[in-house]
Amino acid sequence: MNNQYEFPRYEPGIPCHTVGFHIGLHDEEAAGAAYMIHYGDHYHPGIAKAIQEGNFIFADAGALSYKGKDWQQCHAEGIVFIGTMGSPYDEHYLPKDVRGKECSATLIARALNIQNETHIKPVLNALLQSDRQSEGNLLSFSSHIMRGHKHYGTETIESLTAMATWCIQPFQWLIISQEKMINETKNELQTCCTYEEIQYLGKTIKIALIQSDNDQIVALAKTKAGGVAAHVVICKNSKGHYFISTSKFPFIDLTTVVAELIMEELDARDIKYDLRDKRILSGGPYPGIPWHFQKEENLHRIFNGSLSAPDVEPSKIKMGRVFGTVYRVLKNTQYTEAVVRKIA
Domain of residue 268: give its range.
201-343
- My answer on whether 41 and 132 are in the same domain is yes
Q: How far apart are CA 16 and CA 253, in angstroms?
A: 51
Mean pLDDT of the chain: 89
Does residue 36 form part of some domain? yes
End-of-domain residue from the set 186, 219, 235: 186
- Adjacent-strand bridge partners of 57: 20
Q: What does the pLDDT look like over 170-201, one tens digit per residue?
A: 999 999 998 888 889 999 999 999 999 999 98
pLDDT at 133: 63
**Number of folded domains that form the chain:** 2
- My answer on whether 104 and 157 are in the same domain is yes
- My answer on whether 210 and 142 are in the same domain is no
Does residue 56 form part of some domain? yes
Helix axis angle, 141-152 to 27-39, nearest 10°? 100
Q: How far apart are CA 256 and CA 262, in angstroms?
A: 10
- My answer on whether 152 and 244 are in the same domain is no
Q: How far apart are CA 80 and CA 32, in angstroms?
A: 12
End-of-domain residue from the set 154, 186, 218: 186
Q: Please give the model's pTM, rounded to 2 decimal places.
A: 0.69
Q: What does the pLDDT look like over 279-324, one tens digit per residue?
A: 999 998 999 999 999 998 889 999 998 877 889 999 999 999 999 9
User: What average pLDDT score do residues 85-90 get?
Assistant: 97
**Residue 101: DSSP 8-state:** T
- My answer on whether 55 and 102 are in the same domain is yes
- My answer on whether 131 and 278 are in the same domain is no
Q: Which of 285, 288, 280, 295 is nearest to 312 (CA)?
A: 288
End-of-domain residue from the set 152, 186, 220: 186
Q: Which of 243, 1, 266, 4 is nearest to 120 (CA)?
A: 1
Return the sign of the alpha-carbon dihedral for residues 265, 267, 272, 274: positive
Q: In Å, how far are 54, 154, 167 from 147, measured between CA atoms? A: 21, 12, 12
